[in-house]
Amino acid sequence: MIQLNQVTLIRDEKKVLDNINLTVRSGELVVLTGESGSGKSSLISVLNGLIPELYDGEIFGQLTVLDTPLPPIDFNKYVKDIGVVFQNPKTQFFTTSVLSELAFSMENYGFSAEDINTRMNDVIELFHLEDLIGKKVTELSGGQKQRIAFASACMLPHRLFLFDEPSSNLDYVTIKQLSDYIKLLKQRGCTLIISEHRLFYLSELADRYVILKNGKLTYDLPAAQFKAQFPIIQEEMGLRSLQEPKLLKSFVEKTEPDDVSRVLQIKDLTYQYSDRKSVLNIPSLDISIDNIVGLVGQNGSGKTTFVQLLSGLLTDKSHSFSIMGANLSAKERIARSFIVMQDVNLQLFFETVEKELLVQSKRTELFDDVVDDLNLRGLLSSHPQNLSGGEKQRVAIASAILSGKEWLILDEPTSGLDYQNMLAVSKLLKKAQSLGLFVLVISHDNELLSQTASCILKMDNGRFIS
């Protein structure tokens, strides 16, 4: 099915993959893991043909996928047999609506309208997409976009599936559904290579684990052997847990503020997009800005809309945000806030990481500590858009801490991070809190929240619940 012999990839004069030897048999499910920037996404892009078809890179060695030597002579024919989900689902959307996105691949290959409708109905039922049909792709939350990307990849009867962080931005209910979908694909005899940091939902499905470090294949182990050696490998390679992480019960209680001058009071917070039902309805909420607040809830529950209102990016005249009775206008909240977005590509503008960090920095005295804590020293001269997803997240988090803003709001900051870098982010957020900053983290990452949050707010259908 897949054969790589002494494969090396060079991009921007840097060896990204180094002498990779790998065989994947038909019907296997291989989990590809390793620290952020180890070459996982690059290997996926080599296997799906995007390097060098669309992205620059020199490939050395011999590669065969689906009996086709790579790079393929006929790229369009080659990719017809491969289902792909990218780390950032926005990069694979071709249309504006959910329905047209699902239909796109089959329309592109000339299937009849009857076949498309039949398959679409099956996929909608399989992936529980009834609540998303009729919506525009741009209206969806990050997790909902991930679901549509996965469903779209399954519209055609592919033999091979390549998934790059398919669980990123997904809540735990949807991750369980994702696991069920992957199990179904495996039962149908499909071959799957899944690049992931989150390992727990694949632990009963994986046949093998392949671990990369600095572009080298460090481990290639059957699942049973990997699990037997996991404590040693986890410490050596900085891997996430094999068990589903749980939030401690004590974290799910709101803490009472000690200092009323450090309480943000929110009243009559409602919001409704022009063509949709109300997405927020919060009569009253007090938040101690001395806490590191974790904001949790299922995909589409209103978390991102809430923080956009909190930070002043969205406005509505009906609500009020105040401290000690003094109202904070949207303009004042924008001046206080730095948001690390779910899609950090939208906020990386400069030609080097160093310039990205320094141009807006108001805390230059923290520069060296932040760079070292987030393992960015070796990336300072790199272009931010050439980094891995996890590396981009670390750059955006560093920018937030150095910005001098009083409120740091982070939307899924660790979705692409390995365990060690997740701990580094946790350490820095606690340091930011010690400097008097208000830190609010939207996350489905219970490992991060258990390490970091002093208060958890849970949102469901636009309301906060106990």
> What's the pLDDT at 173?
86
Number of neighbouring beta carbons within 10 Å of residue 118: 12
The torsion angle over the Cα atoms of residues 397, 401, 402 and 406, rounded to 10 degrees, is: 140
Is residue 70 a contact partner of residue 46, using CB atoms and an 8 Å limit?
Answer: yes
Would strands 160-164 and 191-195 be described as parallel, antiparallel, or unpaired?
parallel
Q: Domain 2-237 maps to which CATH number in 3.40.50.300, 3.30.70.141, 3.30.390.50, 3.30.450.20?
A: 3.40.50.300
Q: Quote the longest CA-to-CA distance of the chain.
A: 70
> What's the pLDDT at 51?
94
Say which residue the tokens 């992480």 belong to.
Answer: 245
Give me the DSSP letters along 169-207.
T--HHHHHHHHHHHHHHHHTT-EEEEE-S--GGGTTT-S
Would strands 438-442 and 407-411 be described as parallel, antiparallel, or unpaired?
parallel
Which two structure tokens, joined as six digits, stand for 69?
């030597």
Which two structure tokens, joined as six digits, stand for 95?
């249309």
Map residue 55 onto helix, strand or coil. coil
Alpha carbon distance 17, 199 (integer Å): 22
Alpha carbon distance 345, 363 (integer Å): 23
Q: What are phi and psi of 356, to 5 degrees?
A: -55, -40
> What's the pLDDT at 170?
85
pLDDT digits 0-9 by tens, 147-181:
899 899 999 989 999 999 999 878 888 899 899 99
Is residue 171 a contact partner of residue 5, using CB atoms and an 8 Å limit?
Answer: no
407 DSSP assignment? E
> What's the pLDDT at 258?
61
Q: What are phi and psi of 229, to 5 degrees?
A: -100, 5
> What's the pLDDT at 277?
64
> What's the pLDDT at 59?
96
Q: Which CATH architecture has domain 249-465?
A: 3-Layer(aba) Sandwich (3.40)
Say which residue the tokens 């800005």 belong to.
Answer: 289
pLDDT digits 0-9 by tens, 39-91:
999 999 999 999 999 899 999 999 999 999 998 888 888 888 899 998 888 88
Is residue 376 a contact partner of residue 395, using CB atoms and an 8 Å limit?
Answer: yes
Cα-Cα end-to-end distance for the chain: 50
Domain boundaries defined on the chain: 2-237, 249-465
Q: Do 2-237 and 249-465 agree at the fold level?
A: yes
Q: 422-445 in b/e burial notation, b at 16+ Cβ within 10 A?
A: bbbbbebbebbbeeebbbbbbbbb
> What's the pLDDT at 102?
95
> What's the pLDDT at 405?
93
Ranges of residues in the chain with a pLDDT under 50 are: 249-253
Is residue 403 a contact partner of residue 330, using CB atoms and an 8 Å limit?
Answer: no
Q: 253-265 in b/e burial notation, b at 16+ Cβ within 10 A?
A: ebeebeeeebbbb
Length of the chain: 466
